Amino acid sequence: MLKRQEKEDVSLEEHVLAVQLGDEQARHHLLTDYKPFIAKCVSKVCKRYIDPEKDDEFSIGLMAFNEAIDAYSQEKGSSFLSFANLVITRKVIDYIRSEKHDWLTISLDQEHEEEDGHSKDRQIAVASKKAYQEEELAWYRQLEIAEYNQKLKEFKLSFSELAQVSPKHQDAKETSQHIARVIHEDEEVRDYILKKKRLPIKKILPMVEVSKKTLERNRKYILAIFVLINEDFTYLKDYIKGV
């Protein structure tokens, strides 16, 4: 157990490790000390002030932070707060989507029960909700783009570069995406990339049927797709394939 006088001399990641090793007092301190951080993360997703005492979204964020403590690994190459922010963001988004889905389902069911004379009003309502859902999807995608861009910075890349580094021909693009999947599935290569933030060309060559020149030419794009796969961005995957 971490002693009180040691607290300021130990990194946050070491506190997290202490919790993973069974120090429940350290867990309590983390959950208490980082409430402002949790509230900030949740507020960013909800685009409004979050009251830790009143808003259900904060409770979701708090549970997500606790889950992040148990799931974090320094080997993944990111700081604990970056990892926690990602977990909180996704959990809160899932919660919001679930709540809105329930509301839309109930609302549409109610409209089905209306008399035929209100069919025009129902069509307008359905069209309005469809537009709302499309706007919501665009917003979630934008949020993931911001998160993706932050992860790319660790690899000295940026989202804005994707269009520039993407192969011009569709077959070359698909080949690069396949390579990204292949190297991500190889634990040794995956760990190397996450640690060194670059592609081990010599290690990859025997795993794929392309030349060294092709690998080097498409290095940035392959790396960007690798990061996308590793972070499992739900809303971005199909979008990126078309970039």
Q: What percentage of the chain reaches a pLDDT higher than 90?
A: 41
- The per-residue pLDDT for 165 is 86
214 phi and psi angles, rounded to 5 deg: -65, -40
Q: Is the dihedral of CA 236, 81, 160, 138 positive or negative?
A: positive
Query: Distance (Å, rounded) from C-alpha 90 to C-alpha 102?
Result: 18
Give yes or no for a contact between 55 and 119, defined as CB atoms under 8 angstroms apart. Answer: no
- State the DSSP string of 195-206: HHSS--HHHHGG
* Of 210 and 149, more confident: 210
* Of 192 and 140, more confident: 192
Q: Does position 23 have pLDDT exceeding 70, yes or no?
A: yes
Q: Does residue 124 sit in helix, strand or coil? A: helix
Average pLDDT along the chain = 81
Confidence bin at 126 (pLDDT 50/70/90): low
- The per-residue pLDDT for 106 is 45
Query: Distance (Å, rounded) from C-alpha 172 to C-alpha 170?
Result: 5
CATH of the domain spanning 1-113, picked from 3.40.190.10, 1.10.1740.10, 1.10.3720.10, 3.40.630.30: 1.10.1740.10
pLDDT, tens only, 180-192: 999 999 999 999 9
Average pLDDT of the segment spanning 37-65? 90
Q: Does residue 49 sit in helix, strand or coil? A: coil
Average pLDDT of the segment spanning 51-55? 87
- The per-residue pLDDT for 115 is 45
Q: Does position 116 have pLDDT exceeding 70, yes or no?
A: no
C-alpha distances in Å from residue 16, one per residue of 71, 101, 183: 10, 35, 29
CATH 1.10.1740.10 maps onto the chain at 1-113
- The per-residue pLDDT for 114 is 47
pLDDT, tens only, 206-237: 999 999 999 999 999 999 999 988 876 767 76
- The per-residue pLDDT for 62 is 96
Q: What's the alpha-carbon Rg for the chain, to the nearest Å? A: 22
A 10 A CB-CB count for 158 gives: 16
Closest by alpha carbon to 89, among 119, 46, 123? Answer: 46
